[in-house]
Amino acid sequence: MADPCLTISKQMEAELVEFRRDLHRHPELSLKESRTAARVMEGLEGLGLNIRRRVGGHGIVAELVGSGPGPVIALRADMDALPIQEDTGLPFASERPGVMHACGHDAHTAILLGAARLLAGMRDRLAGRVRFLFQAAEEINEGAKAMIRDGALEGVSEIYGLHNLPTLAAGKVATCSGAMMGSVARIDIRVVGRGGHGAIPEQGIDPIVAASAIVMGLQTAVSREISPFEPAVVTIGSLHAGEANNVIPHEALLSGTVRTFSAGLHERMPAILDRIVGGIAGAYRCRAELTFTSQTPVLENDEGCNRHIEASVDALLGPGARVPAAPTLAGEDFALYLKEIPGCFFWLGSGPEEGAEKAYGLHHPKYTLNERCLSLGVSILAAAAAGRLSGNGGH
Ligand code: NI
């Protein structure tokens, strides 16, 4: 049976909705979350937590000390918004032109604040500590790295986090053990030729033609070299070369993103791409330099921690509310925490109760979030921490 202590009051729910709407109205881009962090600080006031500010940029680490000794369980939320012009028409839509909470990190922040308040109220029953990580700069894959560098995981035995999912109905949760989200890497390619007159191509070496061949070649070469059972995506998202219509430029610059679903393939990608890019460039008498920047590893949930989340969800809602998480090559820097310590990340349904699959997806200018997911998110995170700090080894 669900523990009544793990359910928030109607009043707290209304406050969290209000809090989330305030953040929604005032979204802040990665590394600029100062107002958001200040609002979180106000929200944490009076809870008796040990607080460190400016951890990993504008991040906040708040720790709740229970009534006895025990492990440290971390719960994490991200706080940043995206460079997107909101088009929802909501009464609390973004007041900042070109910036929008289109990934629902406003809701994640509100949920973690709710969990802090709920758990602070049951401190007497907790053997150990709960560390709340309000993380900055998730969207640019910088925040988790900076948090870890600043010691946010020191002494932590397990970490839990969630992401809302508008294509899953509110009231549902999607979980999985093992790999859940893809690895993310950035590639930058510089193709160097020799500039010249557009009418006399034989006197120059055209980097635009080579760059075009590289864009096409990457698609086929990658798909011929990697098993169709091993997902991999290479997308070239920008290509810049030249200024004038009748001039062959000296160089072309490309950038792209590379996603995989296994650590092994992620490791192999730089060599594969380097060979393809270099070979094609060479065929066109150009020289190419490839820079491969790993951003986040594959997000892999610990089996035991995933079971713990599933048991917590089942105790709160019954097993009918849980579905298996579909794999996605979208990335999430929570994966970096999971490289360090065991933990689990899961999807919290945030869509309409009916026809959620038709809802606008994350990062869409018309993305909206069903606020009914807030109270459930609070309960699951609080249950995950409380279950591990019950003094009897948890579930
Ligand atoms: Ni997100």
User: How many helices (H) does the chain have, and how many strands (E)?
Assistant: 9, 16
Q: What is the dihedral of CA 312, 13, 39, 337, to 10 degrees?
A: 10
The pTM assigned to this predicted structure is 0.91
Ligand 1 centroid to 167 CA: how many Å? Answer: 14
Ligand 1 centroid to 105 CA: how many Å? Answer: 6
Ligand 1 centroid to 297 CA: how many Å? Answer: 16
All structural domains of the chain, each given as residue ranges with its CATH number in brackets, are 4-179+299-388 (3.40.630.10), 183-296 (3.30.70.360)
Label residue 333 by pLDDT band (50, 70, 90): very high
* Neighbouring residues of 46: CB distance < 8 A, sequence distance ≥ 6: none
- Convert the pLDDT of each residue in 86-115 to its tens digit: 999 999 999 999 999 999 999 999 999 999
Ligand 1 centroid to 252 CA: how many Å? Answer: 32
Ligand 1 centroid to 298 CA: how many Å? Answer: 15
Ligand 1 centroid to 162 CA: how many Å? Answer: 9
Ligand 1 centroid to 352 CA: how many Å? Answer: 18
Ligand 1 centroid to 144 CA: how many Å? Answer: 13
> Does pLDDT of 355 surpass 90?
no
Ligand 1 centroid to 138 CA: how many Å? Answer: 7
Q: What is the largest CA-CA distance in the chain?
A: 81
Q: Looking at residues 8-24, what average pLDDT do you find?
A: 97
Determine how many CB atoms are found less than 10 A away from the CB of residue 200: 9
- Convert the pLDDT of each residue in 110-132 to its tens digit: 999 999 999 999 999 999 999 99
In whole angstroms, what is the distance from residue 164 CA to residue 185 CA? 23
Ligand 1 centroid to 332 CA: how many Å? Answer: 7
Q: Is 318 helix (H, G, I), strand (E, B) or coil?
A: coil
Ligand 1 centroid to 108 CA: how many Å? Answer: 9
Ligand 1 centroid to 284 CA: how many Å? Answer: 41
In whole angstroms, what is the distance from residue 104 CA to residue 20 CA? 9
- Convert the pLDDT of each residue in 356-381 to its tens digit: 888 999 999 999 999 999 999 999 99
In whole angstroms, what is the distance from residue 311 CA to residue 256 CA? 40
pLDDT value for 354: 83
Which alpha helices (DSSP H) does 58-142 contain, by range?
105-120
Q: Which of 201-205, 220-224, 306-310, 387-391 has the lowest mean pLDDT?
A: 220-224
pLDDT value for 392: 65
Ligand 1 centroid to 163 CA: how many Å? Answer: 7
Percent of the chain predicted with pLDDT > 90: 93
At residue 18's C-alpha, the angle toward residues 12 and 21, to 5°, is 140
The DSSP output letter for 205 is B
* Neighbouring residues of 377: CB distance < 8 A, sequence distance ≥ 6: 107, 108, 111, 114, 115, 162, 164, 348
Ligand 1 centroid to 93 CA: how many Å? Answer: 18
- Give yes or no for a contact between 316 and 6, defined as CB atoms under 8 angstroms apart: yes
pLDDT value for 395: 45
Ligand 1 centroid to 104 CA: how many Å? Answer: 7
Strands 247-248 and 196-197: antiparallel
Ligand 1 centroid to 296 CA: how many Å? Answer: 14
Ligand 1 centroid to 361 CA: how many Å? Answer: 11
Q: Looking at residues 343-355, what average pLDDT do you find?
A: 95
In whole angstroms, what is the distance from residue 161 CA to residue 105 CA? 12
Ligand 1 centroid to 42 CA: how many Å? Answer: 23
Ligand 1 centroid to 80 CA: how many Å? Answer: 8
Ligand 1 centroid to 281 CA: how many Å? Answer: 36
Ligand 1 centroid to 103 CA: how many Å? Answer: 5
Closest CA to 285 of 187, 197, 213: 213
Ligand 1 centroid to 193 CA: how many Å? Answer: 39
